[in-house]
Structure 1
């Protein structure tokens, strides 16, 4: 019993200790100034974890259904299902808000430990691992926990639950296939589906492969019929338990599926047959070496299948030893063959990713490859026999060959010192197998494995640019101090927006209704609305970067927070977060009044904004917003608001468009042309010059294709840097002048790398400021007075005194909304293919709104029925066992009486 506890403790503790030491060397907070947050972790996940923390501490979980921090409002079931339902996220609630950076480190370390612990439990329960070479258990548990996948994709902690649950799920698979009941398997798989449906989907595919492999190991029978029956009947039984797990998780799974259909599933490339090569199989060999990862591997890299020397050599030995059944080894070749094809061919690769092309971080299923290889390696090493001299020579030859191939491939993440280090570890393990086994052999292998895994983790993590711990703290305090005084109370509703960038998910971090958001579950209709009005709806995000007086009012923006400039010295400080300004608002001071400021930010208030619901006429509801026509769309909205055919936006001509080191394909119309750089050693420049004839605001409309050149582009306005958000898909509307009558203005775009660029539909627009003010003004008084609101509810009153026939909400339409007017339920309608409106007569009215995902009730029903079925199976199974025990006892009594 003591040995068992020790093995479990070592298996859970060693991965934590190894990574803890690595973090110390890397200077991770509190041992240095780095956090463990990078890429999406820093710009997306941590804000959502802060939202989760706030939900737990307030015991308000209404945000599971909906949140107004998700852009202008959105369904949250998909967000929770992908990002937030991990039990590890509760750890964030144990730390104060200012120490969320430390909570991130703790959750990662605990995840590593749990990976080792569950793998240990799997080996002990299924392979009786304590009876023979027990120290191999913590060795291989650590190998699994610190595999190449786990260490390389540390910036995606939400995938880690799959590595924790996988050994338990496969243990359940083996139990069911071996003839045991599958109740625990069903519940564990259901929990995994709820915690992280995306990775659970991959595990389900792996369950199919693994069950075919495992049955090749245990099937029986003499005739073909008996063999087929023995092989497939357990798999059918497993399928039944698996479908029951899907049913139990349906309360979350079904709403998530519905959310995906209106979000990510609508703007990804369709799945089609393709023979496209995803990865060169020869290059995969380099991924078996220490430190085989760097930043360039994140966008579109090779699979992370590093295992450590003992696991790699053990995996090879598995196919060489005759201890294992031949049919099992053939099945293992088949499973690994599927993995190999999945790594090589794009079409098979996409199957693992729900048929989609991953946005960065390719080969996310490679954690399954690591698990499979480590398991087979453990079983082979456990049956360890000494390797003869011929085996040593053969192994050495293979190692030399692999090194030669890797050296020739010249990968950015691989260096000669790394190859030498990997070779030394490989040769050490081979020599250990050649030597006679001693009592200390397992201890040495364990120690060397920890050293090797630590070296790999250090090299990989040192190449990832992590967010600064003190800078994050500074950003939190800076933004929090600005938001706290202006955050809307629960008895009033309005939106707040920043015109600088830390994260698109700041509304979640700091608890306020905003407009910007980034997640894989961003609704496409909301993105399209932002595009149609000249802002950015791209890459699963919305970013309010190109506001006008109309859009400010339409979205109910009461406050804008603007950053103040830092000195060059402050920008370099590790204690100060340097925000980036991504919006240029020349007309800001015309519409907003500065109400407060600190040394870092200034807060502006907008007096002319619409309520979240405001009165409109039917003509406005029937308006169709056209693609790539933001100025025209805004003018049409203003005309319907005012009921007048005024040219609120008037197209103006450029004084001139000049080219430098560029040749136009359409020299007669430089506003609609493609351009080719003449001298590739010099930059190419396009200058748009105009002279405003009034003091009105002027806007430049630029095409979405300009975003494709963002990494190669510099933009200036009158020789000063023009600040903008670089990621957009459709026509943008950028403010370039205000109160600059008769002042010549030049907007310049510089390209330094691209040989050819295309800039079509470039247009200059003058906005009639006074006319826009007159159109907006009356509607600010025809809005809903919000008396109470929450994550998924809103109540208030409205008093319409004009000719409005409907109430238009700046809330996205969804069938999940139930709305009552004066206690009578009304049916909302979709407006502009995005927003929501209800019919509304003149006079005073009470409004109540509640959001519950339409799919939730169906999912809940399926979950309840599935749980009832499982409960019935457990009950019947228990009664059956009681009957058998009673029958056996009766038989013993009869025999004893005789």
Structure 2
């Protein structure tokens, strides 16, 4: 077996990891009858997003998506999550109904691919490829990877990042042209937001590596590296440009969210710093349930970096034994940046929100340091064990035994969930004990086999424990399978006219599961106009849209016809006025809105921004039912058909006044509204010219015609669209073209041409002699005895 690993280590890395991942995931897949369910975001985002995107692409509906919030730019909204993941594209040959069954096997495949790509990077720094296999398994099952099962789409980044460093190394050490440009394009396409952090890390990596004179960096190679970076970005521009344009204006990316002041240098939470340090020494905690430091204020931040079994033993052993090396520099710099808020935020464009979602990058370097420490007998591994055990013990004592008072009663322990805390401690302690015993048997001919077996056991046991803990927080997987997934085919509502639904107090994104246009959404990347609209009418909009029941006029403004209420909830009439019973299906009662307004209705009056601001947030939906809000220029363009309201009509903001406004809007509504893959078509037949409003989010990609003639789109009611429609029969056509897609495609095409010419020219040139991809381990030590031969290991003698 050892000889095979030496010859075909990449196969071993892939298939061993695939087998381990299968042992981890298959029991849960079997338990849930073929589908891997987890909890939280995994169940309510990852699964429905995969289904929605899969169906959209197969049907050619890739411009505007009607099932994401109030409507969204499909490419802009899903490029972050999955759009150019090769793993997602593997699902396309299968029917949409099969997609939930594929997500579990894809997780196994992604884990194996992470081992494969990391193997090719790690093997450059060890002599025995067996240790590269060990390092690849550590990377694939790192705490960061296991933690982010919760965020399924993060695994693509873990898989492809090692290729970026391989591209750098190949260009500098072997003068291999073009590979870095390709890896830049791949990583940018897979996830543009993570790519920002990767750019920061790679820049640091290059400059730190340059300090090593033996690396081979020259001015010419540096310029080539910069050139290939630009070419790679050009190739990815067909997706990058639309994605960037889609998030411009999103409040989460604005300058108001920049980290500034003292919080740039110190954390605003006293538990944050120890929580960061703790994540290197213990298995990952559940994203929604931090335990060691429960109030560190960074749930879902991906603060996880534990290496299974070995923990920090190899890393610390390397740092203690090696006086100077680029690995030591980059690990220490990464730690320094991790504990300084402003430097940590450099990986997310200095956003004030705390995230550790760049930790997978230093984790890869930690794996390199660990396997070097395991292979090289000159490194004192016992020193790493001592330090790791000591630091781990400090955390256990501090968190597990510190006294506190709870409701006047003396208790011990600062953790939130004591039972889970001791499970984490037991796993960490078992790993350290195994590592200690293995190092004592380092001269045993079976050492490598025992190392692999022990690591494999840990890489099975702790992810199973983690997943099982998560599933205890989601006891409704049967409901998801039978109601959320199968419910789509049990609900039969009239297809015309187009209407939205409201799912009261239901699972997030249930409407997406049921393929219903609806106003409840849990999605971070939606049109900026939605993010602008909701706060102005009193509805919080951060990562989800959940209008409260007190805003009943919003339902008519947004063309909500159907209201779903669980059977065990009060009747809709008691929750929100104006809804009457229609039908019951699954465990829901369906109510119909008596005040339903079809998509496309007109106004005869308008407010300016100042007057709208005079009304409280809570009454603005009432205001918008009576008159349309426009900016001053739009009012000037339409003052011939719109009367300007001079004061806020508070006396009419009651249910009777609301129903009166509904009748006024209904009298000026379109009689037909049809959506398609390119946009929508509406038809009206009015007695006089009017400004026709559509509750479709305003976006630069829209263009409109009325009776075949180009029409100006006005931004109306803060975040939506309106056009002038003449009296008589009128056909209103809106077409959507993804902003930036055409220009980005042109740049990408140019990038491919440049890359092709570049490769052709360099193919004609005489290649430089290849540098060794396996650096002698002695070069990492202070004593660089380059003339000595590596000591023959007992395993080599056995072979």
Does the pair score TM above 0.5?
yes
Structure 2 counterpart of 1:77 = 75
Q: CA separation of 1:498/1:175 partners in 2, compared to 1, >3 Å: closer, same or farther? A: same
CA drift at 1:507: 3.7
Q: 2:20: which partner in 1?
A: 18
CA spacing shift, 1:540–1:549, aligned 2, 3 Å: closer
- The 3 A distance-change label for structure 1 pair 526 and 148 is same
Give 1:586's aligned residue.
574
Gap regions ≥5 residues in structure 1: 222-229, 566-579, 652-764, 885-898
SS in 1 for 2:81: helix
Q: Is the 8 A contact 1:12 1:114 kept in 2?
A: yes
Which is worse superposed, 334-343 or 363-372?
334-343
1:369 — aligned with what? 362
C-alpha displacement of 1:185:
2.1
SS in 2 for 1:815: coil
Aligned residue for 1:558, secondary structure, equals strand
Secondary structure of residue in 2 paired with 1:626:
helix
What are the within-5 Å matches in structure 2 for residues 745-824 of structure 1?
Answer: 767-769=654-656, 771-786=657-672, 788-802=674-688, 804-824=689-709
1: distance between equivalents of 2:351 and 2:245? Answer: 16
Aligned residue in 1 for 2:222: 235
Q: Does 1:303 align with 2:311?
A: no
Structure 1 residues 487 and 289, CA gap change in structure 2 (3 angstroms)? farther
C-alpha distance 283-408 of structure 1, shift in aligned 2 (>3 A)? farther
Name the CA distance, whole Å, in 1 between partners of 2:171 and 2:627.
65
How many pairs were matched up? 721
Distance verdict in 2 for CA 1:29–1:201, change over 3 Å: farther
Task: Say which SS state the counterpart of residue 189 (structure 1) adopts.
Answer: helix
Aligned to 1:636, what secondary structure does the other structure show? helix
What SS is found at the alignment partner of 1:422? Answer: helix
1:613, distance to aligned residue in structure 2 (A): 1.9
The higher-RCO structure (CA 8 Å, 6+ apart) is: 2
CA-CA distance at 1:376 after TM superposition:
2.3
Find out whether 1:486 has 2:463 as its counterpart: no
**Which whole-Å deviations, capped at 9, do the CAs of 1:773-815 have from their partners, x for residues lacking one?**
333224324223446422441123222214x432211112222
Aligned residue number for residue 381 of structure 1: 374
- Residues 177 and 215, structure 1, Cα contact 8 Å, conserved in 2: no
Query: For the structure 1 residues 874 and 81, does the alpha-carbon distance in structure 2 shift closer, same or farther, using more than 3 Å as the test?
Result: same
Pick one of 283, 288, 299 that aligns with 1:291: 283
Which residue does the alignment assign to 2:559?
A: 556
For residues 438-458 of structure 1, what are the alpha-carbon distances to aligned partners after superposition, in whole Å with 9 as ceiling and x for unaligned?
A: 442111110111122333323
Given that 1:52 and 1:89 are in contact with CA atoms closer than 8 Å, whether structure 2 keeps it comes out as: no
1:78 and 1:265 mapped to 2: Cα distance?
14
Equivalent pair of 2:58/2:92 in contact (CA under 8 Å): yes
Question: Normalization by structure 1: what TM-score?
Answer: 0.73
* Residues in 2 aligned to 1:436 and 1:192: alpha-carbon distance in whole angstroms: 39
| Residue number in structure 2 paired with 1:159 | 154
Aligned to 2:132: 137
How far the C-alpha of 1:562 sits from its partner, in A, is 2.4
Match of 1:862 among 747, 755, 764: 747
Offset of 1:205 from its aligned partner? 1.4
Q: CA deviation at 1:469?
A: 2.9
Match of 1:473 in 2: 481
Contact 1:648/1:767 (<8 A) preserved: no
Using the TM superposition, give the Cα deviation of residue 851 of structure 1 relative to its aligned residue in structure 2, in angstroms. 0.9
Aligned position for 1:404? 393
Higher mean alpha-carbon deviation, 855-864 vs 616-625, is at: 616-625
- Aligned counterpart for 1:499 among listed residues 501, 504, 529: 504
Q: CA deviation at 1:151?
A: 0.8
Between structure 1 and structure 2, the one with the greater Rg is 1
Q: Which secondary structure does the structure 2 equivalent of 1:609 belong to?
A: coil
* Structure-1 residue corresponding to 2:585: 598
Of 621-630 and 4-13, deviating more is: 621-630
- Relative to structure 1, the CA distance from residue 119 to residue 846 in structure 2 (aligned partners, 3 Å threshold; closer, same or farther) is same
2:523 to 500, 519, 522: 519
The answer as to 2:448 corresponding to 1:450 is no
Report the secondary structure of 2:349's partner residue.
Answer: coil
CA contact (8 A) 2:611 2:648 kept: no
1:192 is displaced (CA, Å) by 1.7
Counterparts in 2 of 1:275-424, with a 5 A limit? 275-277=265-267, 284=276, 286-294=278-286, 295-297=288-290, 299=299, 303-310=303-310, 312-319=312-319, 327=324, 329=325, 331-358=326-353, 362-385=355-378, 392=382, 394=383, 397-410=386-399, 412=415, 415=421, 418-419=424-425, 422-424=428-430
1:342-375, CA deviations, whole angstroms, 9 ceiling, x for partnerless residues? Answer: 221221121112222447xx31111112111102
SS of equivalent to 1:546: coil
Say whether residues 1:189 and 2:193 are aligned partners: no
**RMSD of the TM alignment (CA)?**
3.6
Could you give the per-residue CA deviations for residues 843-892 of structure 1, whole angstroms, max 9, x where no partner exists?
A: 2222221111332233222222222211221222234469x9xxxxxxxx
Q: Does residue 1:53 correspond to 2:43, yes or no?
A: no
Change in Cα spacing, 1:420 to 1:603, as seen in structure 2 (3 Å) is closer
CA change 1:259–1:431 in 2 (3 A) is same
Tell me, in whole angstroms, the C-alpha distance in 1 between the residues paired with 2:669 and 2:116: 58
Cα distance change on mapping 1:66 and 1:403 into 2, 3 Å: same
Tell me: CA distance 1:265–1:400, structure 2 relative to 1, closer, same or farther (3 Å): closer
Alpha-carbon deviation of 1:8? Answer: 2.9
Matched, 1:257 2:244: yes
Secondary structure of 1:84's counterpart equals: coil
Task: Looking at secondary structure, tell me which structure has more strand per residue.
Answer: 1
Does structure 2 conserve the Cα–Cα contact (< 8 Å) formed by 1:816 and 1:853?
Answer: yes
CA distance 1:814–1:189, shift in 2 (3 Å): same
SS of 1:603's partner is strand
Give 1:217 deviation, angstroms: 3.4
Q: Go from structure 1 to structure 2 and tell me whether the alpha carbon gap of 1:293 and 1:4 turns closer, same or farther (over 3 Å shift).
A: same
C-alpha separation in 2, matches of 1:541 and 1:399 = 41
* 1:34 Cα deviation after fit: 8.8
Q: Which runs of 5+ in 2 are unaligned?
A: 291-297, 400-413, 629-641, 770-799
Q: Deviations over 1:213-259 (max 9, x none)?
A: 333335479xxxxxxxx555433321221122111111111121122
Comparing 372-381 with 618-627, greater Cα deviation is found at 618-627
Relative to 1, partners in 2 of residues 1:166 and 1:311: Cα closer, same or farther, differing over 3 Å? farther
